[in-house]
Amino acid sequence: MSLAIYRKYRPKTFEDLLGQSHIVNVLKNAARQDKLAHAYLFYGPRGTGKTTAARLIAKIANCATRHNNKKFKETGEPCNACSRCSEIDTGKALDVVEIDAASNTGVDNIRDLQEGIKLSPTSYPYKVFIIDEVHMLSKSAFNALLKTLEEPPAHAIFVLATTEFEKVLPTIVSRTQKFHFRKLDINEIAQKLKKIVSAEKMSVSSEAIELIASIAEGSLRDAESLLDQVTTLDEKVDEKTVEQVLGQVSFSRTAKLAEIILKSDLKGSLEYIAEINEGGYNVVDLTKELIRYFRRALGLKFDERLETIFKKELTAEELNQLKKHSQLINPDKHIKLLQTLIRGYSEMRYSPFASIPLEIAIIESLRNATEPRLD
């Protein structure tokens, strides 16, 4: 069985950790100065490197080369060559314990952990406990964990990871060093995918890579998994292939529909939706992307400074197209359209006729804009 791309290309050094330079600098300096904390809390969206960073801390704390070579220690990185680094990479390290809090939520699970913490490491300087999705712990489990964090043994390091920071008890948060992992820019993800495509000698178009990066919504792991999925086909992967395999609608298709609507072409809008529907594309997803598109266009109409933010979410070509469409925005008309689309989106998720709420939303907006009301 071949190794999944996201596992094969998991970062092995802090420098390889994409898009989190603010975190990398702090952790590398702590490693150089032997000032690793006893407890960390990593929080942020899925697939942004939280668990990877936790494993890097485990390697930094235990790397044999760092302990024996002062010059190498100044790099603030693990060597990835000693037996300890290799064992941690392959999941064979007895002194690195990973726990999925989503399936180990009870107080008994934490009490078992407490018993294990009391024991000295078997062969490493430090025992590292990585608790993923820590917000899933029960209240009693949180309280048990709190006691452990208050009086940790000198040989223990805790790394807590979560996608829902607000659900972690403040008393837990206050006893950790907190690091926020941000969503990755579309260009950062696309560049990483291009490197993987080149290394693996895959046949994937730039447009397909950009679409995958966009669909991933800031998660590198999701992007790598999607790339793995579409490249199982024995053919060149282009934008259309990604749309068909993943059922997603590309930015270019969304932008085309937006342009037809902005030109108040009711007939053209309905024909285009029918074409999308007949092509087997996800109309619900199209509606969601259309809402996002008009929200961005409206935003640019009122505040051009938003372009700085949108640069992180769109390619240069996509941003230029959006800017052109923002000039066509009529605030009174298109704010109402956006409200109607949001209402239609909420209805279509429960409707067996997914395209109808979208069609009605567009008919209401464009009809009202071009015809006098009868009432």
Beta strand pairing call for 177-180 and 127-132 = unpaired
Where in the sequence of the chain do the CATH 1.10.8.60 domains occur? Answer: 186-246
Average of per-residue pLDDT values in the chain: 89
CATH 3.40.50.300 range(s) for the chain read: 5-180
Statement: 5-180 belongs to CATH 3.90.1150.10: no
Q: What is the pLDDT of residue 369?
A: 54
The reported pTM is 0.81
* 173 touches 41 (CB < 8 A): yes
Q: Could you give the CA distance from residue 290 to residue 234 in angstroms, rounded to a whole number?
A: 32
Q: Between the ranges 56-65, 136-145, 209-218, where is the mean pLDDT highest?
A: 56-65
Task: Give residue 375's pLDDT.
Answer: 43
186-246: in CATH 1.10.8.60: yes
Which range has the worst mean pLDDT, 71-75, 85-89, 138-142, 198-202? 138-142
Q: Is the pLDDT of residue 300 over 60?
A: yes
Q: Determine which of 51-65, 99-113, 218-232, 282-296 has the lowest per-residue pLDDT on average.
A: 99-113
Neighbours of 169 (CB within 10 A): 16
**Structure-block tokens of residue 240:** 């259309």
CA 68 to the chain's CA centroid: 37
DSSP string for residues in 264-310: T-HHHHHHHHHHHHHTT--HHHHHHHHHHHHHHHHHHHH-GGGHHHH
Is CATH 3.40.190.10 the classification given to domain 251-370?
Answer: no
Sequence ranges of the chain with CATH classification 1.20.272.10: 251-370
- Which is more confidently placed, 34 or 373? 34
Q: What is the model's pLDDT at position 116?
A: 79
% of the chain exceeding 70 in pLDDT: 96
- Residue 148 has a pLDDT of 83
Residue range 100-151, pLDDT digits in tens: 887 766 677 777 777 778 888 888 999 999 999 999 888 888 888 888 888 8
